[in-house]
Structure 1
Amino acid sequence: MKLLELLNLFPDIKIISGSYTPDENFDFVRTDSRKLEPNDLFCLPDSSGDKGVEYAKFSSSRYILIGSKLKIPKLENKIVLKTDLDPESLAGPIASAILGDPSSKLKVIGVTGTNGKTSLTHILAYLGESQGKSCGIIGTTGVKFKGILSDTGYTTPDPSSLQSILKEMYDSGVEYVFMEASSHGLKLGRTNGVHFKVGVFSNLTQDHLDFHPNMEDYLNSKALLFSSVALNPETFGVIDSDAPGGKDFKSAVESTSPGLKIFSLGRSSGEFEIHSEAFSLEKTSYQIKLSDEWGGDTYISTNLLGGFNVRNTALAFVTALGLGWEKKSLLSALESIPQIPGRFQIYYSKDKSRMAVVDYAHTPDALENILRSIRESKPKELITLFGCGGDRDKTKRPKMAKIAGELSDKVILTSDNPRTEDPESILDDIQEGFSAGYSPMLREVDRAKAISFGISHLKEGGCLLVAGKGHEDYQIIGKDKRHFDDGEEIRKAFDSVGL
């Protein structure tokens, strides 16, 4: 892109130092200094603070865009540009302009919420494929399309990488993109420049209070997704208004995006009501009230287990109907959804006498949901194994212990990703949440040993819930990232005890 074209497209950007020619071009835009090439435009985030000057000085890039908060001297052989906005918030729109605005040529469905984002994107993509649509996924488990699976390291990638992914998807023939929109990604502007066709909200419970100052900021950050949904007759939002935080979230969206069409799931809304739920270890079923236009009361059966998957499949079903997909084939597809990595992922002993469940539940609400869902399937014994991540929100640790102690027959405490915290100190914080006199079945920081112990002590007809890491195939101890897969350890443990 020519430098003068950038100034025309973004009038707020001004050149404040450095000499340039009228035909001068830069190649791309970046917010991550590790990915910079010499001819890139470096959008220096306001969050870089005082370190920003050093980043700018020693950056390999010739072009530096700074915000008004940063005071920077003239830099030799560099062109410095300035904006009154946070430069990070402009990286997405600039990258989109360079790449030909790829999201405008795709149907991008954004999914936000504390829990359920990954499940929803995978369910929606499977439903889309069942309709003959070419679909892509961007989220916690990586980027997936056309048989390609890659890891970005983030739920919502940085703005430049995100626009590049969307361009690659469009070039490969993808039509629908189902994308997790995290509160971090939305608040930091990573999704700026993305044209969303649909916004979907699952729920809002405590998480990420190490990043957000309070729950109000957390809610408002997630509501930014719906502000990004362009207002036209084909766009809409889907909100589970009966979910935790649902009513407040709906009010926020109605206030900030008053012209947006909203489909609301829940008895409180009187629009799409769920009733007559039934659960077993083989399937989940329920009735959903639809408008006469969509066929009225409809029976849904799915192989995905648990009460939270009632909400997930119902949200996906309403979204799919809103997209105009054929109802009968959707109902058929819901009966055989492939297992979602690390989400109520079941592992049986060879004789099917015992089972283990791997789930990403790493918040109080998610842990409660998965435990109640397993209880609905009536195991003869339920052992819960979990830990909490280090260098993250400490306030949820005792809350998760309280939930595990109340809803499990026995509890095993172990490490999640302790990072730079002392693993034993994390377990101390967790253990404070147990009721007086309660002791866990085992306290063991070695997660592999803890899983082996849990499997070896599991009674016939029992279930071991291994919570917290889900799809992750690594463990972070100190600053070392090591291979670790809960599913692999469960299989080893079953084999070692001959089950």
Structure 2
Amino acid sequence: MKLREILYGIDVLDFRGDMDTDIEGICYDSRKASEGDVFICIKGFSSNGHEYASKAYEKGCRVFLVQEDIEVEGATVVKVENTRREMAKAASNFYNNPSKGIQLTGVTGTNGKTTITYLVKSSLESMGRDSGIVGTIKTYTGKRDIESERTTPESLELQQYFHEMVGNGIDSCVMEVSSHSLELDRVDGCDFKYGIFTNLTPEHMDFHGDIESYMNAKEKLFHMTSKANIINIDDEWGRRIYENVKCAKAKRISYAIREQADIMAKGVKISSEGVKYTMVTPDYKIDIELSIPGEFSVYNSLAAAALLYATEVPKEQIQRSISLCKGVPGRFESISGKEGETVIVDYAHTPDALENILRTAGSFAKGRIITVFGCGGDRDTTKRPVMGGISQKYSDVSIVTSDNPRTEDPDAIINDVLGGMDTQNQNYQVEKDRNIAIKNAVSMAKEGDVVVIAGKGHETYQIIGSEKIHFDDREIARKYLEVK
């Protein structure tokens, strides 16, 4: 491909070199650079790619996309205002705009994104349609499962995945779209046909600064869609987004349990076995069942069913496909003990998610709720005391432990959590070692008790400092259940 084709639609501020240079690939990591690549100099939070241009040059790169001046003799240099933003367009051009050939759905919001993407994928598979997925747990391209490092990949990898999907005959993909990816232009160049909004509660305040900015980042998705935006209007921020996108080219479809909406869940019944309700649409009513308990399961399944409705899937198939969904790894994943105790492992790492999980567990527990949780390091600190208060309020015993401390002192993180707890109340413990914390919780659980292990869910590792060690909450819980 010629350089001029890759630069199509990109606002070039300055240029020197040859527009007809043949391009073999694109990269932004000098360690992966090779001859014939365009090297894109990304100015990040912790490093500046412009400082690695010489290393990319040594690897054979002779074309550079920059936003700062660099000195590379005899190379073609293209200067733009923002290389991260333009990389998304360049990557899409290089891979022949692959998302145009896919029914691409973006799901955004604080909680529920992963579950909704899995519900949609599972539903499509039950109808004989293979679907791609991009999200927190993995990316699936039709032939490859790629473990995820972040919720939404960098734009270059994302376009490569779409390209693989098209090559593998995939015509549909559902992906989680994080606020970071929207704010940092990772999803520019994506041809979203549908968008789903779940809910919004304070999260990533270390990055966005305030919840208004957080909402504005999420809202960007719904100005990028072409067919329909499916929005939860029981959520106050969802109602605002619904109003804000009324002039967008995509039609609006509201969903709710309580507010009057286009698609509603009526007659909701929640038990330890799952949820049942009647889905009411402008055209018909159908009964929905899902074997995952909790009100959040009503919202998640309603959003997935609303998307299927918007894509004109027959009502009988919607009803059947949702009922066949069996859950998501690390999302309210239940493990039964020999003595009648239950362990639930969940990814809940926000105040709202933790409260939802604990209230749901409390609705069917015959005994005590014993909670093990911590908060991640190098992340939003404002939620830590809030989560401490929530755990203490909805648990009979709270065990505060370490999550992924990363480069922070685990004791300092735990102290932040304790700042929201009544330390005069004796219903909590502190155990920094997560392994021992889980052991203690499982050991004290008796018949009818529910142990909730929150924060890591599907993760099979713990990040301590810069080291990633193997650690799976589910494995640890099963080990201690076996020896009881």
TM-score range, shorter chain: over 0.9
| Aligned twin of 1:39 | 36
- Is 2:49 the counterpart of 1:62? no
| Aligned twin of 1:12 | 11
Equivalent of residue 155 in structure 1, options 151, 155, 166: 151
| Aligned twin of 2:84 | 88
| Aligned twin of 1:108 | 104
Give the letter aligned to residue 48 of structure 2: K
* Shift, 1:52, TM fit: 4.4
State whether residues 462 and 471 of structure 2, in contact with CA within 8 Å, keep that contact through their aligned partners in structure 1: yes
* Shift, 1:367, TM fit: 0.5
Q: Hey, what's the Cα distance between the residues in 2 that align with 1:160 and 1:90?
A: 11
Q: TM-score, normalised by structure 2?
A: 0.94
1:201-236 Cα deviation digits (max 9, x unpaired):
101111111211221221111111111112xxxx10
- Is 2:254 the counterpart of 1:264? yes
Q: Hey, what's the Cα distance between the residues in 1 that align with 2:160 and 2:265?
A: 39
Equivalent of residue 445 in structure 1, options 405, 420, 432: 432
Q: Taking every aligned residue pair, what percent have the same amino acid on both sides?
A: 36
| Aligned twin of 1:250 | 242
| Aligned twin of 1:170 | 166
- Is 2:279 the counterpart of 1:283? no
Q: Hey, what's the Cα distance between the residues in 1 that align with 2:261 and 2:196?
A: 18
Give the letter aligned to residue 485 of structure 1: D
| Aligned twin of 2:305 | 317
Q: Hey, what's the Cα distance between the residues in 2 that align with 1:65 and 1:475?
A: 36
Q: Hey, what's the Cα distance between the residues in 1 that align with 2:296 and 2:430?
A: 29
* Shift, 1:248, TM fit: 2.2
Q: Hey, what's the Cα distance between the residues in 2 that align with 1:206 and 1:331?
A: 33
Deviating 4+ runs (over 4 angstroms): none
Q: Hey, what's the Cα distance between the residues in 2 that align with 1:326 and 1:34?
A: 49
- Assess, with a 3 A threshold, how the Cα gap between structure 1 residues 426 and 50 changes in structure 2: closer, same or farther: closer
Q: TM-score, normalised by structure 1?
A: 0.92
Q: Hey, what's the Cα distance between the residues in 1 that align with 2:259 and 2:62?
A: 56
Structural mapping, 1:371-410, within 5 Å? 371-410=358-397
State whether residues 279 and 376 of structure 1, in contact with CA within 8 Å, keep that contact through their aligned partners in structure 2: no
1:430-489 Cα deviation digits (max 9, x unpaired):
011013512453211111111011001012111000000011000001111000000000
Instruction: Could you tell me which runs of 5 or more consecutive residues in structure 1 were left unpaired when the two chains were aligned.
Output: none
Counterpart secondary structure, 1:358: strand
Give the letter aligned to residue 408 of structure 2: E
- Is 2:483 the counterpart of 1:496? yes
Q: Hey, what's the Cα distance between the residues in 2 that align with 1:5 and 1:317?
A: 40
| Aligned twin of 1:332 | 320
- Assess, with a 3 A threshold, how the Cα gap between structure 1 residues 387 and 96 changes in structure 2: closer, same or farther: same
Give the letter aligned to residue 434 of structure 2: R
Q: Hey, what's the Cα distance between the residues in 2 that align with 1:258 and 1:482?
A: 46
State whether residues 112 and 200 of structure 1, in contact with CA within 8 Å, keep that contact through their aligned partners in structure 2: yes
Equivalent of residue 212 in structure 1, options 192, 205, 208: 208
* Shift, 1:189, TM fit: 1.1
User: How many residue pairs were aligned?
Assistant: 480
Q: Hey, what's the Cα distance between the residues in 1 that align with 2:183 and 2:29?
A: 17
State whether residues 31 and 158 of structure 1, in contact with CA within 8 Å, keep that contact through their aligned partners in structure 2: no
Q: Hey, what's the Cα distance between the residues in 2 that align with 1:284 and 1:48?
A: 44
* Shift, 1:50, TM fit: 8.4
RMSD: 1.9
Instruction: Could you tell me which runs of 5 or more consecutive residues in structure 2 were left unpaired when the two chains were aligned.
Output: none
State whether residues 413 and 440 of structure 1, in contact with CA within 8 Å, keep that contact through their aligned partners in structure 2: no
* Shift, 1:147, TM fit: 5.7
Give the letter aligned to residue 489 of structure 1: I
